Amino acid sequence: MKRKRDRSRDSSESDKEKSSKKIKKDKKKKDKKEKKEKKKVKKDKKEKKIKHKKEKKAERLEARDPDNGDISVKRFAPMSKEEWEKQQSIVRRVFDEDTGRMRLVKGTGEILEECVSRDRQQAINKQATMADGESFQRSLSKQLK
């Protein structure tokens, strides 16, 4: 006598297979989604980095010539006469932290002399001598450490 198969057992096995396939499929989808999100985050970071570099570059160019107006800053091209004159006409006072002096600096970095009275010259020399001494002391203390 042949035994009849128990259909309920077969259906339960097929249900298990279906559920395991579904689980695998869901896991695959989840992994794919996570991978996509990681890619997006990486891309965003890269874009931020590029944007930050561009901003820094723009800041450097502005710092180099803040009054560039209609004259654009050219990197490797020679200066025109107008650009050179404009650059040379800018004279600014710069504080030298190391020596404690105020210096007159022309556009390209040339140091200029300032005409002052005798009393002012003595005061400048006195202050500068003190600052030179302090600077020397600092350099010695750094060497001893």
* Per-residue pLDDT at 40 exceeds 80: yes
The torsion of the CA quartet 134, 138, 143, 145, rounded to 10 degrees, works out to 130
Residue 6, Cβ density class (10 Å: 0-12 exposed, 13-18 middle, ≥19 buried): exposed
Largest CA distance in the chain: 132
Average pLDDT estimate for 27-53: 87
* Residue closest to 96 by CA, chosen among 108, 107, 117, 111: 111
Domain ranges of the chain: 15-66, 87-144
pLDDT digit string, tens, across residues 44-83: 888 888 888 888 777 776 655 545 554 555 568 888 899 8
Residue 36: both structure tokens together? 């996509």
In contact, 140 and 132? CB cutoff 8 Å: no
